Amino acid sequence: MPLTLANKITIFRILCVPVFILLITYYNMSVKDANPQEILRWSAAILFFCTMFLDAVDGYIARTRGQITRLGTIIDPLADKALLISSLVVLSKSPEGAFIVSIPVWYLLIVISRDALLLIGAVIIHVTCGNVVVQPRICGKATTFFQIILISWILAGLSPVVFPHLIRITSALVLYSAARYTLDGIKQLEKI
């Protein structure tokens, strides 16, 4: 089966992830060398914004052109997670002075723990039930939205005053969505 336009866009988004990581890594190295290359930071920011915009585009194309495929349902969330997790990791490893604010390690651990829990749960459900049904939840969409805002905030160098509130809201959403999806998984297991 040939790739749909939506799937091609999603694959392109996945290919953007290592480029983003390299841009931030080289920017961080330039900061450590006391010669910050702001063009690298802004290039990473633009790439992040464009990649997230393309997420909306590929979803729109898939829905309006009837291009929703099994492959797309697998690689689209993978592309989202790859960009968000890698962004959080590289931004938590930035040297002092690279960004006005940075991702605290505790937040990174919460996000990775939640995603690991959900992945393990999905494997258990798949092995036990044969089919994993993931029902999109507003809390999951809100979590992703706030993570995008959080990363964008750092990349754009916006005010540090609002950032602690933003990270608290995002953390609460991460924890709530973990609980919500865990309950959904338990319900699937109870049906067998």
- DSSP state, residue 134: -
Residues 185/161, Cβ–Cβ less than 8 Å:
no
Q: For all residues of the chain together, what is the average pLDDT?
A: 92
Q: What CA–CA distance (Å, rounded) separates 53 from 5?
A: 15
Instruction: Output the pLDDT for position 170.
Output: 97
Q: Which of 35-39, 88-92, 121-125 comes out lowest in average pLDDT?
A: 121-125
End-to-end, the C-alpha distance of the chain in Å comes to 34
Q: Which of the four pLDDT bands, split at 50, 70 and 90, describes residue 112?
A: very high
Residue 157: phi and psi, rounded to 5, are: 70, 40
Give the Cα separation of 174 and 60 in Å (integer): 25
Residue 191 confidence (pLDDT) = 78
**Residues 107, 167 contacting (CB under 8 angstroms):** yes
Position with higher pLDDT, 48 vs 132: 48
Q: Is residue 132 a contact partner of residue 184, using CB atoms and an 8 Å limit? A: no
- How far apart CA 15 and CA 84 sit, in angstroms, is 14
On the question of pLDDT at 132 being above 80, the answer is no
Alpha helices (runs of H) in the chain, residue ranges in sequence order? 5-32, 38-64, 70-92, 105-129, 138-156, 163-190
Furthest CA-CA distance within the chain: 60
The answer to whether the pTM exceeds 0.75 is: yes
pLDDT of residue 96: 87
DSSP annotation of 3 reads P
Around Cβ 46, how many Cβ atoms within 10 Å? Answer: 12
Cβ atoms of residues 139 and 177 within 8 Å: yes
Q: How confident is the model at residue 1 (pLDDT cuts 50, 70, 90)?
A: low
Q: Which of 44, 71, 41, 45 is nearest to 58 (CA)?
A: 71
Indicate the CATH number of 1-99 among 3.40.50.1100, 2.40.37.10, 1.20.120.1760, 3.20.20.70.
Answer: 1.20.120.1760
Contact 45, 155 (CB under 8 A): yes
Confidence of residue 192 (pLDDT cuts 50, 70, 90): low
- Which phi and psi angles does 112 have, rounded to 5°? -65, -40
Nearest Cα residue to 98 out of 45, 139, 140:
45
Enumerate the domain spans of the chain: 1-99, 101-192
